[in-house]
Amino acid sequence: MDARTFIDVLDPVHFHGALPFLEGPQALQQATGIPEIHPTVRVFYRQGNNLEAFKGMLTRNQFQNKGWDFEYNKLPDSGFGEDLYGDVLVVACPNVDKLDGIRAGFERGYRLILADKPWIKEPSRLTELSDILCRSEGKTDLVDLMTERHELGTIFQFLLVGNEGLFGELLKEDNETGIQKSSVHILDKSHMGVVRPPQYFDIGWQGHGITDVSTHLVDMANMLATGRQESPSLSSLTLKGSRVWPTFIPMDDYNKMTGSRGHHVRMSPDYTMRGPLPYFCNGEFGYSINGIRVHIKVSWNLNGGDDTHESVIRGTKAIIRVIKGENDKHQRIFFLPRGSYEHNGTSLKSYLKSMEPRFGPLDVKDSEYGFEIVPQPGAYSSHFQHFGEIAKESLRRLAKGDLSHQPLENQRVLAKYTIIMKALENAMNQTTSNERVRSD
């Protein structure tokens, strides 16, 4: 048996498929304890799907001279062929095929699968997801690439919520919403060199927006509500309401974003060629978990500056707010005590002082949202780096043969997609297609 570890990539239509390769094979060996990682990466692609984003990412400076050799292999028109087998599989294929790719990797004997979100885009596949998660335990490490867990702002949310003396307890739903998470994204990033394939705007191929970015927000909310070491119970999840609505895309903007002419023929059943394309990329929903009310909102504007994010976590003793505005390079972290401002400020500074061996110097200053916690710039890592961090964590477990985390992580995946699919199903059932188009 070949003792080397082989890494393959499955149908990478998203540049996320390239990000685990920011470090070369030798650097990954040293960082993870894998004895030898083969430098040849087999990339399996399907004719007609867009490889340009993946290949374009690999031409960037930070990927140069890493020691990887990418070998491209065409997949058959259906299925995944006979050559898909190995040790580690990166799945960044179209959302419509994502779960099929994960299942194929598991059934072909891959020991580690790093899969980009979302794993499913429709409620009808929730049972299949549950089955794959169950069958994988003790065999294949299925890793949902939840990069937001590695954001410094997220890490401080967990630390502060976990300090009962400072934060108290999360508010229960009879009071206020305990956890609010929202983000605003920009569709047209052509000025940044981003070309979106026509299929990106096909709901049948891409899925509704409510099923995509919200995976990160729900993942963080559920972990805050249950704790880092507790798995969320499906019976503890109750949907309160949901809605979806479109962003309307004029033909000229569509052509600029995709580099093509005319709307894709499978774009949307609601599009009639008489006006802008209604793209259902927006969604919001409320639910409760363990008696804590959560509100999630993700929206996409056609044009604008940088993406933005806001989290508000309400406790009995304090409110935590994490904000990334259009002009912010990093997430900003705020802590607003409900009691004595001066006394709690002293306690906060004392706690942060104890964190400096991990994060370096932490400044505290007054702001409109209470105390702002200001880490040094070197404490932050980038969105790209977070993929590499997850890859290294996963490879370390692979080197040790450690699957002890599986029951907890698999239950988190199932709970996350369960509430998201309930939100989508509810939003789609409450209005007709035409009403949804007008609901902007």
Res 1: pLDDT = 43
What are the tens digits of pLDDT across the range 33-57? 999 999 999 999 998 777 888 998 9
Q: How many domains does the chain have?
A: 2
Residues 220 and 366 in one domain: yes
User: Residue 433 above 80 pLDDT?
Assistant: no
Q: Which tens digit of pLDDT belongs to each residue from 61-110?
A: 999 999 999 999 999 988 898 899 999 999 999 999 999 999 999 999 99
Cα 422 from Cα 372, distance rounded (Å): 36
Q: Which residue has the tokens 């309307």?
A: 248
pLDDT at residue 334 in the model = 98
Same domain, 86 and 169: no
Same domain, residue pair 305 and 374:
yes
| Half-sphere exposure (Cβ direction) of 171: Cα atoms closer than 13 Å | 20
Confirm if 22 and 388 have CB atoms less than 8 A apart.
yes
- Same domain flag for 289 and 178: yes
Can you give the CATH number for the domain in which 288 is found? Answer: 3.30.360.10
Domain boundary among 116, 135, 157: 116
**Res. 357 pLDDT band, cuts 50 70 90:** very high
76, two tokens: 């058959």
Helix axes 406-429, 126-136, angle to 10 degrees: 180
Give a yes or no: residue 391 inside a domain: no
Beta strands in 218-317 (DSSP E): 237-249, 277-289, 292-301, 308-314
pLDDT in tens, 1-24: 467 999 999 999 988 999 999 999
Output 228 or 76, whichever has higher pLDDT. 76
What does the pLDDT read at residue 438?
Answer: 34
Range with the poorest average pLDDT among 132-146, 289-303, 338-352: 338-352
Edge-first strand order for the sheet with 112-115 is 69-74, 40-45, 7-10, 88-91, 112-115, 141-144
pLDDT of residue 440: 30
Mean pLDDT of the chain: 91
pLDDT digits (tens, 9 = 90+) for 107-121: 999 999 999 999 999
Task: Examine the fold and report which residue of 95, 116, 137 is the final residue of a domain before the chain moves on.
Answer: 116
- Note whether residue 1 is domain-resident: no
- HSE-CB at 153 with a 13 A cutoff on CA atoms is 26
Residue 312: C-alpha distances to residues 56, 178, 393, 417, 433 (Å) = 36, 8, 28, 22, 33
Least confident interval from 52-61, 100-109, 404-413, 415-424: 52-61
Structural domain span for residue 59? 7-116
Task: Check whether residue 322 and residue 226 sit in a common domain.
Answer: yes
